[in-house]
Structure 1
């Protein structure tokens, strides 16, 4: 799990890093390369061992007309072993220079790995700074399910989306969710042929914006830890709407003009949903909120990019609820490994059910779902019976055990994950259930957690043995017998 280290503390640590023998007084230090992966069963090559990143400083120069990117990544990290060499995840792009602690480092490429050998080995516990200068045409990745991620061109610019591994197409780093860090992302873009500036939107808060005549520069800062797959940049033309939640949280909503009419209510819904969710899931975990509504319908998905979820087109209310709920479930409390993805998607899907329940329900075209009463039971029933369109395929594997990387975002992780959450609610009662959710987001705020920890919390808060419940609804390969 990453440690959140303030910038001032990092600077102090760099100047006072340990200099004694790491193996004890008089013992010879043993230097080893960091692992090229963190041991994730579904993504064995993703992430790297031997260090823990605290901060990324990314300075990017992007030309939309040619889709060319130049970048400098300043990566501040702490060694977790005596390091002779370490890896960074990087797909495509040409590395021009790498330095470690100000000295030129040797580097090599092996597929999606950048192998960096510092001039001097790094001691266990030493805070070190790596600078990588790179350029090229950033890649778009087509996943096994046909979806696109990475650096994706749009009709008026580009967008960078990283789940599960696309972030390594535009900056080098430790791209596994278990290593979270803070970010400064500065992007410079030339104006278009008519002299009009492009908008640049990213995570966190806009720190500075500068117009130099021929170029525009935007500097965005994320001061809370973020997994690399949630890092995001969108370049294009947007209508920007600024507002506030009832808790005085700033909201920044950017909408592509082609989606302006259909997305007219998004600027008001974002603060409303964040306020609603804060009452149920605990305090909002970040210093700003918002959304990016682009015009890229061929993408066919939305993503919970931190502080500003990204939508390929105008979203409906329930999709907004889902992606904003991820700010608690997935973004602040992030899975330790990808197999725990149901903790993101099951809880965010259940947030949709709660929204429908408390807003009176969403009437189905066939009239089966009523507009009054508690409807989460009805939604559960529809999923169980296969009546809800989103229930298709939910019994193909247990939600807590995706069989492969290609299926980590399949229906069981969403729908059956939400069904498991509902069964917990019915087993422990509303008071204990919402206490569980608020405790979960408080205990693991800005950190990583796994399924075993969630189960332990549910049992601790309820005082009940929930072994059979979780075995039936979360781990069983078979469709459970009817139990309601």
Structure 2
């Protein structure tokens, strides 16, 4: 994610619980060994995001979306979906959760067996048979669907959960009122989820530690274009005034990086010198100035990818972008298809491309580790600028270090900023300065070896600040505890390291 004068982003939810609760009963004769899956992934910032007791393997999302009517009609769309979720139990499960916010559930099936809706029972009440109940508590910002099959699910067993759902879409926001998730726009929807907005448009285990592969089928009114992650799975088809778009994302992906944006896009296809497909979706309503800057920046994508491959091969099956004319103020690193609001400028394109390695291939183990996303992406901007004859990385570092010690900038604990500090300036700039200082301390060879090993070792997974520190100690042969204490664990301006 990029921040700046044109790109504002201060999105957090501060531990709000939003859950779609799916609860099979324990099997008869199980001896009580079936237990509920945890109600969250264990992230202290967002304790109800993600879930325990299972691993999602694949999401197959079938969406039909009607955008709002022209102004002055309300900015309200209609989304109807069928989510086919393949998951594997990692414990003997008596129940498990999926996260879903603001949409109504019509039906649920587990391995083809239909559950029937009942009135929500009192807490702790056992209801036998295949039933579900749906509760949405707006005051607590918690939404739960409870489903109870006849038998528990043994560890290692794979099941398919099919949820039909839908409802009106507007502009969901976090607790600070910043739009995220399925952001309804006049011409479609701009879909940007960080950190836990995926639950606003499909049932999901909404935490980076539960990555999965994806398929998308998105049906929209004729003339609209639906763009998701990965590559087109087949040619779009138009029937009776509706066009269906298919996208396949076969690489492991954290839910916050998924997208299925809808708009008046011009699809542009190109490739790198090595043949990597690039698909750019550019809104046809950009101003001439924004369009010219966007086109110039996107033309650099192949060169930027080659530059970033100093950190390892590009990690996914495609690259590209979605450039929307909406003025929400986003740039978000959606996997293979970063989203830019209004314009894609050169520095921001480099930032979001760098995230494909740092944040997407290797995602944060906990949201407290987000500096490893944003610090690396900002550092990539610094070294790209230097490579292109602009300001040097040293100049960028000196600018950060020129911030007075009395500034609140230095009050942020970079490795634990709190849920309201995830997108503070220090996460980006002090994070990048940490990497610059680390490179000086351990030398170019060890630093680049460590960066490449970081991506190779933790690709398709998550990693923490502790993992990063240990790896850099491994490749450098140095004890870096004091260094990381100064740079990412102490809320003061570094003076020596």
TM-score, structure 2 normalization: 0.85
d(CA) in 2 for partners of 1:171 and 1:91?
Answer: 8
Moved over 4 A (4+): none
Deviation per residue, 1:72-123 (Å, 9 max, x gap)? 0000000011111111100011101001111123223342333332232110
Q: CA deviation at 1:227?
A: 0.6
- Residues 249-270 of structure 1: CA deviation (Å, up to 9, x unaligned): 0000111122233312233122
Which ranges of structure 1 fall in alignment gaps of 5 or more residues?
Answer: 1-20, 192-196, 363-374
Is the contact between residue 371 and residue 431 of structure 2 (CA under 8 Å) also seen in structure 1? yes
Partner-residue secondary structure (3-state), 1:171? coil
Aligned-residue offset at 1:276: 1.2
Preserved contact between residue 293 and residue 311 of structure 1 (Cα < 8 Å): yes
Give, in whole Å, the separation in 1 of the partners of 2:424 and 2:39.
27
User: How far 1:34 moved relative to its partner?
Assistant: 1.3
| Partner residue in 2 for 1:293 | 323
Residue 219, structure 1, aligned to residue 250, structure 2:
no
Distance 1:200 1:402 in 2: 36
Q: In the alignment, which residue of structure 1 is the partner of 2:274?
A: 247
**1:402-417 maps to which residues of 2 (within 5 A)?**
402-403=417-418, 405-417=419-431
Quick check: 1:249–1:289 contact (8 Å CA) kept in 2?
yes
Is the 1:95–1:134 contact (alpha carbons within 8 Å) kept by the matching residues of 2? yes
Greater mean alpha carbon deviation, residues 209-218 or residues 127-136: 209-218
Alignment of 1:336-415 (within 5 A): 336-362=365-391, 375-386=392-403, 393-403=408-418, 405-415=419-429
Q: Distance in 2 between matches of 1:281 and 1:116?
A: 45
> Aligned pair 1:424/2:438, yes or no?
yes
Residue of structure 2 aligned with 1:161, choices 192, 201, 217: 192
User: Which of the numbers 81, 99, 102 marks the counterpart of 2:91?
Assistant: 81
Aligned partner of 2:59 in structure 1 is: 56
SS in 1 for 2:159: strand
Residue 72 (structure 1) aligned to one of 82, 88, 95: 82
Partners of 1:211 and 1:53 lie apart in 2 by 32
Give distance in 2, aligned partners of 1:138 and 1:392. 41
The alignment partner of 2:307 has SS state of helix
In 1, distance between residues paired with 2:239 and 2:85?
Answer: 27
Say whether 1:207 aligns with 2:233: yes
- Alignment CA distance shift 1:145-1:28 (3 Å): closer
**Contact in 1 for aligned 2:67/2:189 (Cα 8 Å):** yes
Matched, 1:284 2:314: yes
Q: 1:174 maps to which residue? A: 205
How much does 1:39 deviate? 1.5
Q: Is the 8 A contact 2:253 2:335 kept in 1?
A: yes
Residue 109 and residue 408 in structure 1: after superposition, are their counterparts in 2 closer, same or farther (change >3 A)?
Answer: farther
Tell me, yes or no, if structure 1 residue 471 matches structure 2 residue 485.
yes
Residues 100 and 119 in structure 1, CA contact (< 8 A), matched pair in contact too:
no
Q: Select the structure with the greater relative contact order (CA < 8 A; seq sep ≥ 6).
A: 2
**Is the aligned partner of 1:137 residue 2:168?**
yes
2-structure distance, mates of 1:267, 1:417: 26
Q: Take 1:379 and 1:393, find their aligned partners in 2: how far apart are those partners?
A: 19
User: Cα offset for 1:343?
Assistant: 0.7
Match of 1:223, SS? strand
The reply to whether residue 96 of structure 1 matches residue 121 of structure 2 is no
Summarize the alignment of residues 304-343 of structure 1 with structure 2, pairs less than 5 Å apart. 304-343=333-372
d(CA) in 2 for partners of 1:261, 1:426: 38
Distance 1:293 1:393, change over 3 A: farther
Q: Is the 8 A contact 1:143 1:406 kept in 2?
A: no
1:314-356 deviations in Å (ceiling 9; x for gaps) = 1221111100100000011011111111110111111111101
SS of the equivalent of 1:437 reads helix
Secondary structure at 1:378 match in 2: helix
Whether the 8 Å contact between 2:350 and 2:380 is mirrored in structure 1 is yes
Q: Distance in 2 between matches of 1:133 and 1:119?
A: 20
Structure 2 CA distance for aligned equivalents of residues 393 and 293 of structure 1 = 34
Q: Tell me, yes or no, if the aligned pair for 1:334 and 1:449 is still in contact at 8 Å.
A: yes
Q: How does 1:223-234 map to 2 (within 5 A)?
A: 223-234=250-261
- Contact kept, 8 Å, 1:87 with 1:116, in 2: the verdict is no
- Taking a change above 3 Å as real, the CA distance of residues 267 and 317 of structure 1, as seen in their structure-2 partners, is closer
Unaligned 5+ residue runs, structure 2? 1-25, 69-75, 116-130, 136-141
Supply the distance in 1 between the matched residues of 2:369 and 2:184 (Cα, whole angstroms). 31
Mapped to 1, the partners of 2:148 and 2:43 lie a distance apart of 24
Residues 140, 352 of structure 1: alpha-carbon distance in 2 compared, 3 angstrom cutoff: same
Q: Per-residue deviation at 1:392?
A: 7.6
Tell me the residue number matched to 1:370: none
**In structure 1, how many angstroms separate the alpha carbons of the residues matched to 2:427 and 2:147?**
37
1:115 to 146, 154, 160: 146
Point out the more displaced range, 81-90 or 105-114: 105-114
Task: Tell me, yes or no, if the aligned pair for 2:38 and 2:51 is still in contact at 8 Å.
Answer: yes
Q: Deviations over 1:180-223 (max 9, x none)?
A: 000001101122xxxxx111111000112111141100011100
